[in-house]
């Protein structure tokens, strides 16, 4: 289809805009970030909504705004505090860029968000969609938006049968988004098409009979709405086995800060080692069954020394050597805790969580100083168990920490 949209005249566009705005007036979702045109609130919500559903974002948004009610307070916050509040949302580069962007807004824009898409895209972590969303929602600028829901809706409206994620597809759909947006009611129009895409024009089984744009939809007219947009080819899944090690010394546990080029950069984490599947099998770690609240409260923490006496086994040499490489500590025994299954992008990970406790004599003679990062290449530090709740941990790290504390 031509990128000039010649088959869609101004009358078609005017009727579509009218239907969209009328539908939104009657059916638009009530969401906390839509309560005002405050650019800060809108920007926070849009960053959180990247790769994350509305239902998941709402409680995070409310907690984040309670902790950082203004861009100035976010800019002044400690990075670990920002990451701790983001914990569980995933894609943590969003949180790091959010923090950096807040500092740019305060230092270079006197605490006021720029109003144009070009200026907004100069902020760390702000791409074309987020810039257009903030410009239209906060400042009612007539900027079209293209994200997962509108990409699907617009592809079907114009029966775009090529790859919508390719270079040509993106050019075509962005041009259409800018052409179709209402010049006088951009905020309401963009919110509306996102809602229609999310609630009606779904990826599977679109509810065409309920769609206010049925009369304008070329894909529905041709009966190809289930084939548009063209699906991305699935990336093959890679199976990975990792061992997560809590190195404990009396009431302390050893955690490191993840490096800037690593997954979960800037967050704290246990020793985490990728191993061959057969080494993982030899650890004989099993997933813990879900326990009742009474059972949880009755079980002492794994930090309590007496709970670590039974079920201790000799560490495989490969894991012992990796722990020594990470921490400089020579450990020989472990206590199995649990197995956690999770996925990160195209990796399906079997995470085997174990505890390695220093012997009482070694623990008493060991310094509180962290292992020398210059020697190991890893930034480790001892933390008291009551500090774990305040530290930013990956989701699986938090699950492990809770088990260690008997939660």
Q: Give the angle 69-74-76 at the CA atoms, nearest 5°.
A: 125
Buried/exposed code over 361-394 (b: 16+ C-beta within 10 A; e: otherwise): eeeeeeeeebbeeeebebebbbbebeebeebbbb
Please state the separation of Cα 371 from the chain's center in Å: 31
46 Cβ contact list (under 8 Å, min separation 6) = 129, 130, 133, 134, 137
Read off the tokens for 60: 């995070």
CA pair distance 189, 181, nearest whole angstrom: 7
CA pair distance 176, 213, nearest whole angstrom: 16
Q: How many CB atoms lie within 10 A of CB 75?
A: 18
The 3-state secondary structure of 278-328, one letter per residue: HHHHHHCCCCCCCCCHHHHHHCCCCCCHHHHCCCCEECCHHHHHHHHHHHC
- What is this structure's pTM? 0.81
Read off the tokens for 231: 């699906």
Whole-number Cα distances in Å, 17 to 12, 174, 183, 195 = 9, 17, 10, 14
Per-residue pLDDT of the chain (407 residues; tens, 9 = 90+): 445 566 788 899 999 999 999 999 999 889 999 988 999 999 999 999 998 889 999 999 999 999 999 999 999 999 999 999 999 998 899 999 999 999 999 999 999 999 999 999 999 999 999 999 999 999 999 999 999 999 999 999 999 999 999 999 999 999 999 999 999 999 999 999 999 999 999 999 999 999 999 999 999 999 999 999 988 888 899 999 999 999 998 889 999 999 888 888 899 999 999 999 888 888 888 876 544 444 434 444 454 544 445 578 899 999 999 999 888 888 989 999 999 999 888 889 999 999 998 876 555 555 555 665 555 567 899 999 889 999 999 999 999 999 988 76
CA pair distance 396, 380, nearest whole angstrom: 18
User: What pLDDT does 362 receive?
Assistant: 59
CA pair distance 316, 332, nearest whole angstrom: 8
CA pair distance 208, 229, nearest whole angstrom: 15
Please state the separation of Cα 193 from the chain's center in Å: 24
Q: Of 81, 27, 91, which Cα lies nearest the Cα of 57? A: 91
CA pair distance 328, 236, nearest whole angstrom: 37
Read off the tokens for 120: 């907004």
| Integer-rounded Cα radius of gyration of the chain | 26
Q: Of 150, 189, 191, which Cα lies nearest the Cα of 173? A: 150
User: What pLDDT does 295 receive?
Assistant: 42
User: What pLDDT does 375 receive?
Assistant: 57
What is the DSSP pairing of strand 268-269 with strand 333-344? unpaired
CA pair distance 249, 358, nearest whole angstrom: 5
From 7, 35, 46, 322, active-site residue: 46
| Cis bond before residue 229 (omega within 30° of 0) | yes
- 72 CB burial (10 A radius; 0-12, 13-18, 19+): middle
User: What pLDDT does 391 receive?
Assistant: 94
CA pair distance 74, 98, nearest whole angstrom: 9
What is the DSSP pairing of strand 238-249 with strand 347-357? parallel
User: What pLDDT does 290 receive?
Assistant: 46
Please give the domain boundaries of the chain with CATH numbers for all domains. Answer: 38-139 (1.10.340.30), 238-404 (3.90.79.10)
Catalytic-residue membership of 161: no
CA pair distance 140, 23, nearest whole angstrom: 19
Q: Which helix (H) or strand (E) holds 272?
A: strand 271-275
The 3-state secondary structure of 338-388, one letter per residue: EEEEEEECCEEEEEEEEEEECCHHHHHHCCCCCCCHHHHCCCEEEEEHHHH
């Amino acid at each position: 289809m031509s990128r000039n949209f010649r088959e869609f005249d101004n009358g078609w566009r005017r009727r579509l805009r009218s239907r969209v705005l009328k539908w939104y007036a009657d059916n638009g979702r009530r969401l906390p970030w839509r309560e005002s045109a405050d650019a800060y609130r809108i920007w926070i919500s849009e960053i959180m909504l990247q790769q994350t559903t509305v239902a998941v974002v709402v409680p995070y948004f409310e907690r984040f705004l309670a902790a950082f009610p203004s861009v100035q307070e976010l800019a002044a916050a400690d990075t670990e505090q920002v990451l701790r509040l983001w914990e569980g949302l995933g894609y943590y580069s969003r949180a790091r860029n959010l923090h950096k962007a807040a500092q740019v807004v305060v230092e270079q824009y006197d605490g006021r968000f720029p109003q144009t898409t070009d200026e907004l895209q100069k902020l760390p972590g702000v791409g074309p969609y987020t810039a257009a969303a903030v410009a239209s929602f906060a400042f009612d600028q007539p900027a079209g938006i293209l994200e997962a829901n509108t990409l699907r809706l617009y592809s079907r409206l114009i029966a775009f049968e090529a790859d919508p994620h390719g270079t040509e597809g993106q050019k075509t759909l962005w041009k259409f988004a800018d052409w179709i947006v209402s010049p006088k009611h951009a905020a309401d129009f963009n919110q509306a098409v996102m809602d229609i895409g999310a609630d009606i024009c779904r990826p599977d089984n679109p509810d065409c009979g309920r769609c206010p744009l049925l009369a304008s939809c070329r894909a529905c007219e041709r009966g190809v709405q289930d084939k548009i947009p063209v699906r991305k080819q699935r990336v093959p899944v890679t199976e990975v086995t990792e061992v997560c090690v809590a190195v404990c010394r009396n009431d302390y546990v050893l955690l490191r800060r993840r490096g800037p080029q690593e997954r979960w950069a800037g967050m704290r984490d246990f020793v985490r080692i990728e191993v061959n599947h057969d080494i993982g099998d030899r650890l004989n770690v099993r997933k813990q069954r879900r326990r009742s609240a009474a059972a949880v409260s009755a079980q002492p923490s794994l930090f309590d020394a007496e709970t670590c006496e039974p079920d201790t086994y000799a560490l495989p040499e490969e894991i012992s050597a990796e722990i020594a490489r990470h921490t400089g500590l020579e450990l020989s025994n472990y206590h199995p805790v649990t197995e956690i299954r999770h996925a990160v992008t195209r990796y399906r990970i079997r995470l085997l969580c174990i505890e390695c406790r220093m012997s009482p004599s070694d623990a008493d003679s060991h310094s509180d100083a962290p292992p020398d990062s210059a020697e190991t290449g890893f930034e480790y530090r001892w933390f008291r168990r009551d500090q774990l709740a305040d530290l930013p941990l990956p989701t699986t790290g938090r699950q492990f920490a809770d088990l260690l504390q008997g939660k």
